[in-house]
Chains A and B, each alone.
Chain A
């Protein structure tokens, strides 16, 4: 009963496709069995809304008269790259403001632009024959910009370790505040709604996949940085997958700050919540089985964020984490999410509605990402 992308797209165009969210698919598989669910459903939508530091935006300002080759650029006092051409820049989400430090950063600039606010642009240059101007100080909003698009080098982490702290002192991390002696656990994956946990070997997700990004349609644009493949077969027959990531792009001008939000993690700095959803076509029963996998069968490791290399302390299911309490060192400790499940549901629901309306077609990957790949550390070498 294998289906193809073309067959499913034909159904979407006719408004005949059966589209469900990943949570609905879990329920349906439990009630009707995977075989029936595979036959009934054409597309399963996923969603996640979590802090994704490896994000940012490319911007082109257009030329002033006289023109300037901007080599030192600030947007609302946040440094942006001056290293690409004359009036192109890239602003990274985690870049901090010179004046406000951790209270305001690149993610806030991106959110302000999305919300249509004016952002102060200050730039300097040495001045050249072709670009004589040395200084500019003006205001820009998204309508003034030629291009403004998010290009996030590493989003949609397949799975992410939950974090705890074994030391005697509180530590402040990108996984939030971690209390001493493992007194709390923070995690940041939407579990059974999480895009890359539902197609764990990326059979249908690859270069060119059309996705939900920040409230609009975006695309998978490359393999994500630090992409690696981790697979562990567990004694009970379940499989733990982790490590895959995606680089994604989408038009900032069409985004909505309901789905892109600047955030500050105390003692760590600025990051950006990114709303991302991926539609997964139910090509066959094997894929349907993955799509129907519930939080009880999806796992992560609680890692010690106070120790080098973040060693794993314990494997837990997302069902355990979702219960709000996990057992760690013989104690029940609170488990809190940093990613928003209610937002993830909203995203999967929005994507379902887009596909249901017949306007959002599935894009078959133009290229597949590596089936096996390891992650290389940075080894320091002697200066030559």
Chain B
């Protein structure tokens, strides 16, 4: 199944001339869509791209980019909550800036409204039992 991932690539000055896109397309069958680019000769380059391919190829492609000395920053798509691990304490609700995470005041179970979530990731480290993670692939 094809998936997409949005990534921010930071090229160090010595690496701006590397044919990264060519290899992603040819070796990993990844569709490479440039959303924003800022590359000048002999300066650091910045590239925001959307990559589409199989999850396996995307992982390999990202590893390849990293192996070329390019810094990869992933844009997380949303948070995911492990319903089995969650103990419904509510520690995440106090630091969630948009009230996407809240307690049902009847059942006192944690509720998550993905529409309100801005993926700030504050909850990921605030969760005492590690039940919240970010989802990278869309």
Contact = CB atoms under 8 A, between A and B. Distances in A.
Interface of A: 49-51, 176-177, 179, 184-186, 261-266, 271, 273, 322, 324, 334-343, 345
B41 to A, nearest CB: 42
Given A261-B129, A264-B130, A266-B126, A336 B88 contact: no
B125 A184 contact: no
Given A263-B128, A324-B105, A179 B87 contact: no
Given A184-B95, A265-B128, 15 more contacts: A51-B128, A176-B95, A177-B126, A185-B94, A263-B128, A273-B87, A273-B89, A273-B128, A324-B93, A334-B94, A336-B94, A338-B90, A340-B87, A340-B108, A342-B107
A262 B87 CA distance: 11
Given A261-B87, A263-B129, A265-B128, A342 B108 contact: yes
Contacts of A184: 94-95
Q: Is the interface of B mostly helix, strand, loop or mixed?
A: loop
B109 interface: yes
A266 B125 contact: yes
Nearest to B122: A177
B108 A341 contact: yes
Interface of B: 87-95, 102-103, 105, 107-109, 125-126, 128-130
Nearest to A185: B94
A265 B95 CA distance: 14
22 contacts: A176-B91, A176-B128, A177-B95, A179-B95, A184-B95, A186-B91, A261-B87, A261-B129, A263-B129, A271-B128, A322-B105, A334-B95, A335-B94, A337-B91, A338-B128, A340-B87, A340-B89, A340-B90, A340-B108, A341-B88, A342-B88, A342-B109
A324 B95 contact: no
Given A273-B87, A324-B105, A345-B108, A336 B93 contact: yes
Contacts of B125: 177, 266
Q: Is the interface of A mostly helix, strand, loop or mixed?
A: strand
- The 7 A-B residue pairs whose C-beta atoms are closest, nearest first, are A336-B94, A263-B128, A341-B108, A184-B94, A337-B90, A342-B108, A340-B89
A334 B93 contact: yes
